[in-house]
Amino acid sequence: MLQSRHLLSGLGLSLMIASLSANAAGLTAEHKAFGKTNDGTPVEQYILRNSHGMQATVITYGATLQALKVADKHGKFDDVVLGFDDVQGYQKGTAYFGATIGRFGNRLADGAFELDGKRYQVPQNDKSNALHGGPQGFDKKVWKAKETKDKDSVGVTLTYLSADGEMGFPGNLSTEVTYRLTENNELRIDYKASTDKPTVLNLTNHSYFNLAGAGNGDILKQVATLNASHYTPVTAKLIPTGELAPVAGTPMDFTKATAIGTHIKADHPQLKFAEPKQGGFDFNWALDTKGDISKVATEVSDPQSGRTLQLFTTEPGVQFYTSNFLDGTVKGKGGKVYPHWGAFTLETQHYPDSPNQPGFPSTRLDPGQTYTHSVILKFTAK
């Protein structure tokens, strides 16, 4: 565990609390208030910067990546993740912009699962499914936070204790999420969790990326490569059938660099399940990297800005989602409108509905075990 150091100084009223620290590598962190929830709970903001100008902003509401400023090929910085300028936007929002998702990312069929012969019920919030941990998941909680740093990175560690029975899940679950920014223009996210009863767990981050800048049009011309020769097909209810199907010969084949819009409207039943009117991607790809974080799992680039995002992960799967249900009615940061297909997600994860799918990698966590999960987002521009 990295030791934290937290320097406080007043800025005007005590409602605005800030801290500034730095290390030899030119990495700095700023800490200040980010308003309050509707019930008056204070929310804090941590702004992480490196010497190249890259900036990651994390808020304690939902342990959320609220902003991520990255340079384009001309050195111009723009925020490449969707979100809101105030806490109330996140409280009212249903799209999970930038949030830490738990206890169980993605879908559980009928909101139910069994452990050791006992059935557990999670509130259904996606038609008959439970989605992303139910209606009051980790994305709707205020986490505790402290600054962390070492010689190679600056970051923030957020913690949350989910009580036994919360949203129907068994066990008191202690969860820790750490965001770290490096001088290599990498944002690393590390998860750690433990429980006092057998439970199921599938944490992820739900950032929506637009490499042209959040709110700057759609992502159809951005080019994706997914290091995955198979995916998990779904039923009309978006629940996996249990098979691992080859992507070859389908619109799900991103094994070679392909513009996201190339096949997004293809006449394929899976795309209609994901978005019945116009089609779209919202599936779990089984990564060929098989948890090797030294290998590129996915890569997306924007030809216009020159920005490229490479993702590395210890997880076996990634949910590639093309914001099919954004419709231009949501106003985000700076008043920008977020259009249909205005972003993509790369949700690193175990497979959806795993507790009900005996052939999938297990998401069970027992007392004495430690859940870990790591993601690296590396940005370049050329």
DSSP string, 91-136: HH-SS-TT-EE-SB-SEEGGGEEEETTEEEEPPP-BTTBEETTSTT
The reply to whether 347 belongs to the active site is yes
Residue 283's H or E segment, with its range, is: strand 282-286
**Is residue 214 scored above 70 in pLDDT?**
yes
End-to-end CA distance of the chain: give it in Å, rounded: 36
Active-site residue flag, 206? yes
Residues in the chain: 382
Specify binding-site residues for beta-D-galactose.
Answer: 106-107, 206-208, 282
pLDDT at 57: 98
Q: Please check the confidence at residue 367 and state whether its pLDDT lies above 50.
A: yes
Q: Which residues sit in the known binding site?
A: 106-107, 206-208, 282
**Would you call 335 exposed, middle or buried from its count of C-beta atoms within 10 A (0-12, 13-18, 19+)?**
exposed
Q: Would you say residue 12 has pLDDT above 80?
A: no
Task: State yes or no: pLDDT of 3 exceeds 80.
Answer: no
Instruction: Pick the catalytic residue from 132, 166, 176, 206.
Output: 206
In the structure encoding, which two tokens stand for residue 310, read together?
């490479």
CA-wise closest residue to 368 among 189, 199, 119: 199
Give me Rg for the CA atoms of the chain.
Answer: 20
Task: Please answer whether residues 264 and 322 qualify as being in contact, where contact means their C-beta atoms are separated by less than 8 angstroms.
Answer: yes
What's residue 179's pLDDT? 98
Residue indicated by tokens 């949030």? 99
CB-count exposure of residue 82 (10 Å: 0-12, 13-18, 19+): buried
Q: Assess contact for 177 and 103: CB atoms under 8 A.
A: no
Distance of alpha carbon 140 from alpha carbon 63, whole angstroms: 9
Nearest to 84, CA basis, from 330, 297, 304, 342: 330
* pLDDT average, residue stretch 126-148: 98
Q: What pLDDT score does 277 carry?
A: 86
CA atoms within 13 A on the CB side of 72: 15
pLDDT in tens, 165-198: 999 999 999 999 999 999 999 999 999 999 999 9
Average per-residue pLDDT for the chain: 94
The pLDDT > 70 percentage for the chain reads 93
Quick: pLDDT tens for 313-362.
999 999 999 999 999 999 999 999 999 999 999 999 999 999 999 999 99
Q: Which of 64-73, 98-107, 201-210, 267-276 has the lowest mean pLDDT?
A: 267-276
**25 band by pLDDT with thresholds 50, 70 and 90:** low
The catalytic position among 31, 347, 350, 373 is: 347
Q: Which residues, 6+ apart, have CB-to-CB distance to 272 below 8 Å?
A: 279
For 145-184, give one letter per residue: b (16+ CB within 10 A) or e.
bbbbbeeebbbbbbebebeeebbbbbbebebbbbbbbbee
Q: What is the pLDDT of residue 343?
A: 98
Cα 275 → chain centroid: 21
pLDDT-based confidence at 1, cuts 50/70/90? very low
- Written as six digits, the tokens of 171 are 């066990």
382 by DSSP, 3-state: which?
coil
pTM over 0.85: yes
Percent of the chain with pLDDT strictly greater than 90: 91
Task: Return the closest-CA partner of residue 370 out of 189, 180, 174, 133.
Answer: 174
